[in-house]
Amino acid sequence: MIRPAMLIHLTAAFLVFLCTSAFAAEEQVNFQVQPDSIIIDALYNGTTLTVTGNVPADSEVVARFVGTPTDLHMKEKGKVFGLLWMNLESLTFKNVPNICIVCTSKDLKDGTSSPNPALQELELSGLKSSVQVESAANIDPQKDIEELLKLKQDEGLYRQLTQKLTYEAASSGMKTFKATIPVPSRLSPGKYTVEVAAVRNDEIVARASMPVDVALTGFPALLSTLAFGNGAMYGILATVIAVLAGLGIGLVFQSKGAH
């Protein structure tokens, strides 16, 4: 027989469980990505990823398209004797994603002078703390990282956009969002990730991710196979293409000269 006091405790525990479950169910991100894979063929000139989903109604969305972090080997340029620009020391940047495109509906900082570290990591500036530099010379790591970020931005591989994400009216404590992520033409085959975070009061309250595969097909796939599997054939094919291109340009200029 259940005593009244025990019944009260069981009822209270059940209510706490329901509240906790309801809260956990609310604090989540559900989204889809179209297309869920990217095919690079001879006519590929960039594409667009459309990310749609639902987040808690009182939160903001941050959507990112990022590549797998890897090591990047580069040469530092500088003036020798204050006159000539030359390659100087070798640098190795570690934990560098080959692409990072961030989409928000507004500036993440939004007037805050000291953003939360967890929120700041979603921005491009957050890469300053995750990227590391190795060099035998005495260098300024932060300066080199800033130069790397600037270079990636000039190449269109790192971008932070505030006009590519929209919302619909909230319903039942959730709201629908849509992010349009422009993917540049300079994209290598490999594994990529779309990340979506729900942000409230400068805190990440929910987060989810989904893989996006990028693969070569057709003529680009053939060239890649020859380059890594048959160097001699690749060299012959590259020479033939260069000769044909030269002949084509020569014919164009000859035809113009004839007139």
Of residues 255 and 199, more confidence is placed in 199
Residues 162 and 227 both lie in one domain:
no
Q: Which two tokens stand for residue 226?
A: 């020859």
Q: Residue 15 falls within a domain, yes or no?
A: no
Instruction: Say yes or no to pLDDT of 229 above 70.
Output: no
Are 86 and 147 within one domain?
Answer: yes
CATH of the domain at 166: 2.60.40
Same domain, 188 and 226: no
Same domain? 144 vs 259: no
Higher-scoring residue by pLDDT: 114, 222:
222
pLDDT of residue 6: 52
138 and 207 belong to one structural domain: yes
Question: How do residues 239-252 score in pLDDT, each as one tens digit?
Answer: 777 777 777 777 77
Residue 250, domain extent: 217-259
Residue 9 located in a structural domain: no
Shared-domain flag, residues 159 and 35 = yes
Q: Give the residue-averaged pLDDT of 194-198.
A: 94
User: What single-letter DSSP state applies at residue 69?
Assistant: P
184 and 245 together in one domain: no
Domain end position, chosen among 179, 196, 215 = 215
pTM greater than 0.75 (yes/no): no
The mean-pLDDT minimum among 36-40, 198-202, 255-259 falls in 255-259
Say yes or no to pLDDT of 112 above 90: no
Q: Kindly state the tokens that stand for 137.
A: 């010379």
Give strand ranges (E) for 97-242. 100-104, 132-134, 158-161, 165-167, 174-183, 190-200, 203-216
User: Is residue 107 domain-shared with residue 221, that is, in the same domain?
Assistant: no
CB 52 within 8 A of CB 167: no
- One domain, residues 75 and 147: yes
Based on the fold, state whether residues 159 and 246 are members of the same structural domain. no
Comparing 114 with 47, the larger pLDDT belongs to: 47
Residue 206 has what DSSP assignment? E
In this prediction, residue 12 carries a pLDDT of: 47
75 contacts 249 by C-beta, under 8 angstroms: no
14 domain-assigned: no
In a domain, 231, yes or no: yes
The pLDDT of residue 21: 39
On whether both 161 and 99 belong to a single domain, the answer is yes
Average pLDDT, the chain: 79
Domain count, the chain: 2
- Reported as a single tens digit per residue, the pLDDT across 78-96 is 555 555 555 567 788 999 9
CA distance 45 to 19: 50
For residues 183, 185, 187, 188, the Cα torsion angle rounded to the nearest 10 degrees is: 150
**Single-letter code of the amino acid located at 152:** K
Residue 156's nearest CA partner among 124, 194, 126, 132 is 124
Do 207 and 248 have their domain in common? no
Q: Nearest 5°: phi and psi at 249? A: -65, -40
